[in-house]
Amino acid sequence: MYKTILVPVDGSKRAEVILSHVEHLVKDNNTKVIFLKVEEEALLLERDEVVNIEKYREAHAARIEISNAYLNTLKDKFLGQGINAVTQIVSGSVVKAILSVAAETGADLIALATHGFGGLARVSYGSVAAGVLQAARIPILLIRSFPD
């Protein structure tokens, strides 16, 4: 049914709730699964604050390395089941990055877990799921995750 499913994850167990649903969707067909991790480039500085660029680059490289290891674990699990899976890491605003990667890869479904914040919490924290839902031009599978 779907040729390419984009699965944005943030490294949390709550985000991984979507994985079993994706597995069921792609079993016994030739669907490609793209595991996406977005590294936010949030650099908040106080006025006149000096930044050590080398330390920033080292920290960014360390985050990328951790993200790569995490995504490869997910990919290997799917590959072990005969599911075509790849990984991608991008930097930027999470919602914009998800939408951009979906367009660039020709994804025909975005599958993600939502933490289920509602009301003022959604306004305060922002909501990746709400942002993607509002702006996406392709189908979205949202699964609500619950804290343990």
pTM passes above 0.85: yes
> What proportion of the chain, given as a percentage, has pLDDT over 90?
63
129 domain-assigned: yes
Q: Is the pLDDT of residue 80 over 80?
A: yes
Collect all residues with Cβ–Cβ distance below 8 Å to 128 and sequence separation of at least 6: 8, 94, 95, 98, 112, 114
* 39 or 74: which leads in pLDDT: 74
24 domain-assigned: yes
Work out the pLDDT band at 110, boundaries 50, 70, 90.
very high
3-state secondary structure of 41: coil
Tens digits of per-residue pLDDT, 121-139? 444 345 888 899 999 999 9
Domain containing residue 75: 4-38+49-144
Quote the DSSP letter at residue 43: -
Please give the backbone phi and psi of residue 4, each rounded to the nearest 5 degrees, phi first: -140, 120
CA distance 7 to 87: 9
Quote the DSSP letter at residue 29: S
State residue 37's pLDDT score: 96
68 domain-assigned: yes
- Count how many domains the chain has: 1
* 43 or 97: which leads in pLDDT: 97
Chain mean pLDDT for the chain: 87
43 domain-assigned: no
| Strands in the chain per DSSP E | 4-8, 32-39, 84-91, 109-114, 140-144
21 domain-assigned: yes
Q: What CATH number does residue 131 fall under?
A: 3.40.50.620
44 domain-assigned: no
109 domain-assigned: yes
98 domain-assigned: yes
CA distance 75 to 83: 9
